[in-house]
Chains A and B, each alone.
Chain A
């Protein structure tokens, strides 16, 4: 029975646990413990279900698996329709993998309203899994928008000084981006008479229709990724969010944008995607290069990582839209696979980087690079981890950061030498801004008394960072298990987008 409803279980279990936490409420130490252990166990059970999903998943086929389908709103033909393929499974795994770390990293840091804090993260986890597994457009939209609410509260309640500004900007920016997506879903409903994403993909559309739908979807996904020039909400949100919020935001929520492109934009509007592919490539390259320079100049560690995220996500969109520069599908598949790997890898690395900053922030209550210096002298174990993650962020071979970037750069060189050249600058820029930060924060003389008083990682922090370090190295050294999951689906996608959907006369 569980087999048939594993996706529903993974969505609703954390949400229910979150609701239970809200009812338990805050109180004395005993209650506090109940809350923490309950949320940790809920997230770990979800993780175990995710692992089981991975092993039960059939790599050889591109069709949707673990399908659940039931009527939800009959009068509008809206269904509760879930299913996963090779694109969604890795992202779901990322989600269930990161959430326990977020819970653990907040273990005794959150003093204000901890029940609501943990509840928000668990509810968020369920909603994110929902986004990755929804196959009905309205269901997808419901999860997509509902996700904003816990994040809005997380940044607003537990955030830094300018949290209200940051969280309102985050909410309104993403809300503005996504409402037009809703209109385009309703327009497609007018064409197909249902909200089934698979039938949207099959619906014939004229070029003009496709272009308008593409732009509507682009607004939603570009804001989420975020692409230059609609990225400005991200540094603010990251800087003001509590550590856990930053981790979820960088590791998973940004991936929603990439997922949107590959799940919706490319298959539903393939001709428009081809039409706009040059623009998308240019925007991606601007993100990679220009934002790389911007990151170099940051004085705030979280802001630096936020800009580095934008640059790295540029690789994702580059990998997706470079597909149309090739005549054969195998090279296109290389770019898309690279982009997918980059999403997973960036999820792990950026999550780990924000956790590292969180470790420092919990001790010193400062995110300024200038407030640190010589941390390696007092926190050697921590320094080792941070150097590893920074290297991964810079794309060192052997770490996960290398695999995705390398595949995308390779595909770019095959497409056009200048694309490849500009994309490859990230190897220099990424190394420059990350390692320069590491140098200023970790190395040198002990800068001040506060740094001198720092204590190294406690057990909890050690295991969190250790597990992430292992996973970063695993994906870097042996990415095959992950790529195998995707390959059948990506091949099918290549076939799907190479066929035009234009029929009949233009509008």
Chain B
């Protein structure tokens, strides 16, 4: 192991070290001084982010005997994940203090989850990928059950754990088949093996790939492997939901990209139909079922399923612009999801503001927050000039370019269905009288982050070119 390897993996190493530091420091901190843990966690995020930023190579580098990869794509996804976790921490602080959940475990488990995410993003071998995935998944199971006296949380954690274990098993089973057929576990070597011997591209390999796709689809929460998602979104405390809804989605993008494109790109013709069907079902079912929800966290859960359908649509086209469109969609979607759950956290006061009713009259209570929520909802609905529109535009463009115009029509129609429940939030905020007229107090830091988050959704919508171009360049 040389110095270069250590530098390229320094972000992960630093994060792991800091987790140990936070763990030890937290032991000596009383509940009143828990802000120290909070500050230290944020500091570790800043440090990790700095290391990612300064050590991302311009070209692809393999390290640790080819089981780890460092490239601009990984840099972008890692940076976005770190920012998302950081935003989540800032949104959550006063909420956690108010609901007496300001425990070191929340920060520790989140940081461990982030470590898993970083490993997944940089994994170049099926086993390392699995390692990262399990690090993330185990942290998430624990995070969901984090409020130990809540029955809902325990129930959804249990559900998540059991289904997640099955999905992991399925993924691992698929991995064993792929390894058995190709004799390689590193993605680039799998690709080489298939390219060198086209006879490998046959039933046993497809069998393994199908099992792997099941695992991947589960992690995304795509239909028909979505059952856990609404329950977990609803059952977990909102800061935890925010975490689950953002950074792990980026890791899931890395998972699907590394496995299906880097590793099994030559099998595109075989997996295209599966991804396409999953995409179609997710879009339609997610958007239709979301209409019936009155709990906003559950509604956003189904909406997430719908958005995953769009991300998968970018993947199934099998083109560079398709992958970059899916990447752009994932990045902008997590930005909107972070904002949406962030606002739910801000509105929560003693009890969770999870019913749509809690948004009633927000336009009068706090016009600024209502406007930010308006931006987020219209962004998710894909109305221009908010960034969600351009995310949808790039995806639809690749789908049409790949010759699936009928699929594009299904996509736009499902987004019309989706528009209804996003508009309903706006309706409750602006057209209804407030039930709860208490002023909303929030810290300056939360207000600033929420404002930046909302304005970024508009700003990226008016000037999407740079990010789009960057997504294209990291995929190529």
- In contact, B396 and A157 (Cβ under 8 angstroms): no
Chain A CB within 8 A of B57 CB: no
The answer to whether B416 and A172 have CB atoms under 8 Å apart is yes
Which residues does chain A contribute within 8 Å of B464, judged by CB atoms? 73
Smallest CB separation, A166 vs chain B (Å): 11
Number of A-B contacts (CB under 8 A): 91
Question: How far apart sit A76 and B394, CA to CA, in the bound complex (Å)?
Answer: 8
Q: Quick one: closest B residue to A72, CB to CB? A: B465
> Which B377-417 residues have C-beta < 8 A from chain A?
378, 383-385, 389-390, 393-394, 396-397, 400-401, 405, 408-409, 412-413, 415-416
A113, A156, A186, A187: residue with the most chain B Cβ atoms closer than 10 Å: A186
Within the complex, what minimum Cβ distance (angstroms) separates B247 from chain A? 26
- Which segment, of A173-181, A246-254, A453-461, A470-478, faces chain B? A173-181
0/1 interface trace, chain A 96-140, chain B, CB 8 Å (1 if under)? 000000000000000001001000000000000000000000100
What's the Cα separation between A113 and B433 when bound, in Å?
A: 13
State which of A145-153, A271-279, A386-394, A432-440 sits at the interface with chain B.
A145-153
**Is B419 engaged at the interface, CB distance under 8 Å to the other chain?**
yes
A135 to B465, CA, bound (A): 19
Tell me if B274 is interfacial: C-beta within 8 Å of chain A. Answer: no
Partner of A168, one of B364, B389, B423: B423
Chain A contact residues: over half helix, strand or loop, or mixed? helix
Nearest B-chain residue to A159, judged by Cβ: B431
**B409 near A183 (CB under 8 angstroms)?**
yes
A175 touches B419 (CB 8 A): yes
List of A residues within 8 angstroms of B153 by Cβ: none
Q: Which residues of B contact A141 (CB under 8 A)?
A: 384
Residues in A with CB closer than 8 Å to B383 are 145-146, 148-149, 175
Q: Are A175 and B465 in touch, CB under 8 angstroms?
A: no
A357 at the interface (CB under 8 A from B): no
CA distance A464 to B202 in the complex (A): 77
Q: B413 contacts which chain A residues (CB < 8 A)?
A: 176, 179
Given A149-B378, A168-B420, residue A186 in contact with residue B472 (CB < 8 A):
no
Contacting pair A171 B405 (CB below 8 A): no
9 contacts between A and B (CB under 8 A): A76-B394, A146-B385, A157-B431, A171-B419, A172-B416, A172-B423, A180-B412, A182-B396, A189-B400
- Is the CB of A75 closer than 8 A to any CB of chain B? yes
The CA-CA distance from A220 to B469 in the complex, in Å, is 31
Interface residues of B (CB under 8 A from A): 363-364, 367, 371, 378, 383-385, 389-390, 393-394, 396-397, 400-401, 405, 408-409, 412-413, 415-416, 419-420, 423, 426-427, 430-431, 464-465, 468-469, 472
Contact indicator B416/A76 (Cβ below 8 Å): no
Return chain A residues, CB-CB under 8 Å to B371: 22
Please report the C-alpha to C-alpha distance between residue A175 and residue B389 in the assembled complex, in whole angstroms: 13
- Give every chain B residue within 8 A of A171 (Cβ-Cβ): 419, 423
Hey, which chain B residues are within 8 Å of A148, CB to CB? Answer: 383
- Residues of A near B431 (CB, < 8 A) are 156-157, 163-164, 167
Check: A142 CB closer than 8 A to any chain B CB: yes
Residue in A72, A153, A168, A183 whose beta carbon sits within 8 Å of that of B412 in the complex: A183
Q: How far is the CA of A211 from the CA of B354 in the complex (A)?
A: 47
Q: Is A74 an interface residue (CB 8 A)?
A: yes
Complex contacts, B389 vs chain A, CB 8 Å? 142, 145
Residue numbers in B under 8 Å from A187 (CB-CB): 400, 405
Cβ–Cβ < 8 Å partners of A504 in chain B: none
User: Are the C-beta atoms of B397 and A189 separated by less than 8 Å?
Assistant: yes
Distance in Å from the Cβ of B267 to the closest Cβ of chain A? Answer: 26
**B415 nearest CB neighbor, chain A only:** A179
Given contacts A72-B465, A73-B468, A157-B430, contact A146 B384 (CB under 8 A): yes
Q: Residues of B contacting A116 with CB < 8 Å?
A: 367
Residues of A within 8 A of B412 (CB): 179-180, 182-183
Cβ B393 vs Cβ A190 within 8 A: no
* Chain A residue nearest to B469 in the complex (CB): A75
| Interface residues contributed by chain A, number (CB under 8 Å) | 37
Shortest beta-carbon distance, B238 to chain A, in Å? 27
**Closest CB of chain A to B425's CB: distance in Å?**
12
Given that A148-B383, A168-B423 are contacting pairs, would A190 and B401 also be in contact in the complex, using a CB cutoff of 8 Å?
Answer: yes
* Chain B residues, CB < 8 A from A167: 427, 431
Tell me, in angstroms, the Cα distance from A164 to B423 when the chains sit together. Answer: 10
Q: Which residues of B contact A152 (CB under 8 A)?
A: 423, 426
Q: A25 interface residue, CB < 8 Å from B?
A: yes
- Minimum CB distance partner of A177 in chain B: B416
Q: How far is the CA of A70 from the CA of B431 in the complex (A)?
A: 39
Which residue of chain A has its CB nearest to the CB of B371? Answer: A22
Q: Inside 8 A of A189's CB, which chain B residues have their CB?
A: 397, 400
Q: Are A156 and B427 in contact (CB under 8 A)?
A: yes
A172-B419, A183-B400 as given contacts; A156 in contact with B408, CB under 8 Å:
no
B469, A156: Cβ atoms closer than 8 Å? no
Chain A residues in 8 Å Cβ range of B416? 172, 175-176, 179
CB of B420 to closest CB in A, whole Å: 6
Is the pair B465, A73 in contact by a Cβ cutoff of 8 Å? yes
Q: Give the distance in Å from the alpha carbon of A145 to the alpha carbon of B388 in the complex.
A: 13
Q: Which residues of B contact A156 (CB under 8 A)?
A: 426-427, 430-431
A148–B389 alpha-carbon span in the complex (Å):
14
Q: How far is the CA of A113 from the CA of B394 in the complex (A)?
A: 37
- Chain B neighbourhood of A186, CB < 8 A: 393, 396-397, 400, 408
Since A116-B367, A148-B383 are in contact, a sample of 6 more A-B pairs with Cβ atoms closer than 8 Å, ordered by chain A residue number, is A73-B464, A76-B397, A138-B393, A164-B427, A179-B413, A189-B400
- Are B378 and A183 in contact, CB atoms less than 8 angstroms apart? no
Chain B positions within 8 Å of A146 at CB level = 383-385
Q: Which residues of B contact A176 (CB under 8 A)?
A: 413, 416
Give Cα distance in the complex from A72 to B385, angstroms.
13
Binary contact readout A51-78 vs B (1 if CB under 8 angstroms, 0 otherwise): 0000000000000000000011111100
Which residue of chain A has the shortest Cβ distance to B468 in the bound complex? A75
Given A75-B465, A172-B416, A190-B400, verify A153-B378 contact (CB < 8 Å).
Answer: no
Complex CA gap A145/B384 in Å reads 6
Partner of B427, one of A73, A168, A180: A168
Shortest CB-to-CB span from A286 to chain B, Å, is: 26
A182 to B385, CA, bound (A): 14
CA distance A116 to B430 in the complex (A): 11
Task: For A173, give the chain B residue with the smallest CB separation.
Answer: B416
| Contact A74 B465, beta carbon cutoff 8 Å | yes
Chain B residues with CB below 8 A from A163, complex form:
431
Known: A76-B394, A179-B415. A25 touches B469 (CB 8 A): no
The smallest C-beta distance from B100 to any residue of chain A, in angstroms, reads: 36
B-side contacts of A25, CB under 8 Å: 367
Contact between B427 and A182 (Cβ–Cβ < 8 Å)? no
Distance between Cα atoms of A164 and B426 in the complex (Å): 11
User: Smallest CB-CB separation from B414: which chain A residue?
Assistant: A179
Bound-state CA distance A156–B416 (Å) is 19
- Residues on B with beta carbons closer than 8 Å to the beta carbon of A72: 465
Q: How far is the CA of A187 from the CA of B402 in the complex (A)?
A: 11
Contact A142 B397, beta carbon cutoff 8 Å: no
CA distance A204 to B2 in the complex (A): 60
**Chain A residues, Cβ within 8 Å of B385:** 142, 146
Q: A156-B430, A164-B427, A186-B396 are in contact. Are A75 and B419 (CB under 8 A)?
A: no
Once bound together, how far apart are the Cα atoms of A267 and B468, in whole Å? 32
Which residues on the B side are within 8 Å of A153 (C-beta)? 426, 430
Closest approach, in angstroms, between the C-beta of A152 and any C-beta of chain B?
A: 7
